[in-house]
Amino acid sequence: MGTHYRAHQPDGRGFIDYSQEEHATWQTLIERQLPCLAGRACAEYQDGLSLLDLPRDRIPQLGEINAVLTPCTGWSVVAVPALISFDRFFELLAHRQFPVATFIRRREELDYLQEPDIFHEIFGHCAMLTNPAFADFTHTYGQLGLAASKEERVFLARLYWFTVEFGLLQSPEGLRIYGGGILSSIGETSYALSGAPRLVPFRLLDVLRTPYRIDIMQPIYYVLPSLDSLYQLTREEILANLVQARALGLFAPAYPPKPSRAAG
């Protein structure tokens, strides 16, 4: 997958100089998204968002995020290009470093962007990384991915997709969102709890066998009984289920096939 975005490079002090238009895009995104999260985002995310205290009128500097994350869970964010390899991605997670592509979407792509930008990474993911159970799971995931074969990584990608990106949680207050791909998307935040998608109790083997598409609203979400249940997934359990998933093969997709491009 290519990208027409270029990430900004930090200067010698780690400072990134964004334009006023880029700051304005951040402000538009965060001010319209925050009201949508009330009664939808899980308490752990809301607690993390309070700790981060993200600015409304400008894109935060990565050092500001690290000043909160590192004391909480030992994590930090690091600037990366718009696209990085799987090797680099897993290497960073294995060292408790979360990759942040330092560009922000253009205004004509406010509602949907295929590649992750700084709003998705900071607003969608970093609040959850203040939570020890979630942070430890993400660290374990990175270690597993770093050691995995190319074939195993394809299955591991589904675990990340249906948890870190598009996970739901059964809380004492009701169904809540913890996946950053939902929390950073105004459309998916409303859709996820609308009754339209299929909601399935989280079962590791099923998650590893479930195909997905990145360019549609998700037809299926997996629901955790608690965030602690993520932390309780051991490396041995994940690896054993991965072997079983490869032997059993994938479920039939819950979505229509991607339209083929007309020849021309």
Residue 120 among the catalytic residues: yes
Number of domains the chain contains: 1
> Residue 263: its pLDDT value, please?
41
**Is position 43 within any domain?**
yes
Catalytic residue among 22, 165, 185, 188: 165
Catalytic residue among 44, 76, 125, 139: 125
**Is position 122 within any domain?**
yes
Catalytic residue among 120, 139, 185, 188: 120
**Domain limits for position 134:** 20-248
> Residue 2: its pLDDT value, please?
62
How far apart CA 28 and CA 23 sit, in angstroms, is 9
**Is position 262 within any domain?**
no
Catalytic residue among 44, 184, 185, 188: 184
**Is position 253 within any domain?**
no
**Is position 207 within any domain?**
yes
Residue 159: Cβ within 10 Å count: 24
Residue 6 to residues 46, 56, 199, Cα–Cα distance (Å): 30, 23, 36
| pLDDT less than 50: residues of the chain | 262-264
Structure tokens given for 166: 């598009």
**Is position 179 within any domain?**
yes
**Is position 256 within any domain?**
no
How far apart CA 121 and CA 110 sit, in angstroms, is 15
Residue 8 among the catalytic residues: no
**Is position 10 within any domain?**
no
Residue 83 to residues 29, 77, 100, 102, 176, Cα–Cα distance (Å): 22, 15, 10, 11, 30
Residue 184 among the catalytic residues: yes
Residue 125 among the catalytic residues: yes
To 5 degrees, how large is the angle CA 115–CA 119–CA 124? 90
> Residue 264: its pLDDT value, please?
39
> Residue 33: its pLDDT value, please?
98
> Residue 3: its pLDDT value, please?
74
Residue 28 belongs to domain with CATH number: 1.10.800.10
